[in-house]
Amino acid sequence: MLRNTIFALVLGLAGGGILIGLGIWQVQRLAWKEAIITDATTMIAADPIALPDTPDPTKDRYRAVVVTGRFTGEEAHVLTSSRERGPGFLVVGAYVTDDGRRILIDRGYVPESAKTAPRPPRVVAVEGNLNWPDDVTASTPPYDASRAIWYGRDVAGIAALLKTEPVLIIARTDTGDAVLAQPVTTAGFRNDHLGYAVTWFGLAAVWLGMTVFLLWRIRTRTV
């Protein structure tokens, strides 16, 4: 009896401890993710500043900036879909700032029918947020040169095609030519850690409950 009791107790406490530890880890991850979302929200909504000389993809992601200059008329079209408007394209245009820098501006959404609509060069100031989107994964199709369609905002790839710096500003407001701005938000940030924590703590409770039941069965069988 004693050997069985000790084995069940050690197994129960070890398993319960691991599950509780996983739950605590998810609570810590929850706090970490909430801090990231808070920081991103603050940066997105901040007053815009001048474009940094050498934007850092980590430090300057979501930084609000303002630039003055002109669109060149050169564009890349990124396939997208809107729940409200249906399939279409994000228009990523080449932009030359007043001090001569060539960068990329994500102007926003147009329907499929407007992909090749004329959007001639124009002078316009743009407010927006720096971003290096995580659109491109291992499963993302490569650029379709025959149809001039990108399947993700590959900043480096689009910059090479349009001969710009690998710097992308996502416009906060409409930049004309019937292109609907799609400003940066934190709405797409996933934060499932609370659910994961509840799951691990729930499993820990079940595990410990089963341990108590097993110890009771061992005791009753030997009485």
Q: Is there a single domain that holds both residue 129 and residue 216?
A: no
Does a structural domain hold residue 112? Answer: yes
Residues 89 and 120 grouped into a single domain:
yes
pTM: 0.80
The answer to whether residue 149 scores a pLDDT higher than 60 is yes
- Among candidate residues 206, 211, 203, 205, the one with its CA nearest the CA of residue 4: 211
User: What is the pLDDT, as a whole number, of residue 1?
Assistant: 62
Per-residue pLDDT tens digits for 72-92: 999 999 999 888 889 999 999
131 and 164 co-located in one domain:
yes
State the DSSP code for 176: S
Nearest to 149 by CA among 108, 104, 115: 115
Quick one: pLDDT at residue 222?
61
In a shared domain, residues 72 and 152:
yes
Q: Quick one: tokens of 61?
A: 């992601």
Helix, strand, coil percentages for the chain (3-state, nearest 5): 40, 25, 35
User: How many Å apart are CA 53 and CA 88, to the nearest integer?
Assistant: 33
* pLDDT(223) > 60: no
Does residue 36 belong to any structural domain of this protein? Answer: yes
Structural domains of the chain, count = 2
Which tokens go with 63? 């930084």
Which of 43, 11, 44, 16 is closest to 200 using CA atoms? 16
Domain ranges, residue 217: 2-40+191-222
- Regarding whether 200 and 153 lie in a shared domain, the answer is no
- pLDDT of the residue at 7: 79
Q: List the single range of 14-28, 172-186, 205-219 with lowest mean pLDDT.
A: 205-219
Residues 109 and 164 both lie in one domain: yes
Determine, yes or no, domain membership for 80.
yes
Radius of gyration of the chain (CA): 26
Q: What is the pLDDT of residues 152-189, one digit of tens each?
A: 999 999 999 999 999 999 999 999 999 999 999 887 78
**46: in domain:** no
Does 149 map to a domain? Answer: yes
Question: Between the CA of residue 181 and those of 98, 153, 165, 169, 197, what are the distances in Å?
Answer: 22, 15, 21, 12, 37
Do both 164 and 128 map to the same domain?
yes
Residues 131, 165 within the same domain: yes
- Residue 24 and residue 112 in one domain: no
Could you tell me the two tokens for 181? Answer: 């701005």
* Whether residue 19 sits in one domain with residue 98: no
Percent of the chain with pLDDT over 90: 75
Asked if pLDDT for residue 134 goes beyond 90, the answer is no
Backbone dihedral region for residue 126 (phi beyond 0: left; psi -120 to 50: alpha; all else: beta): beta
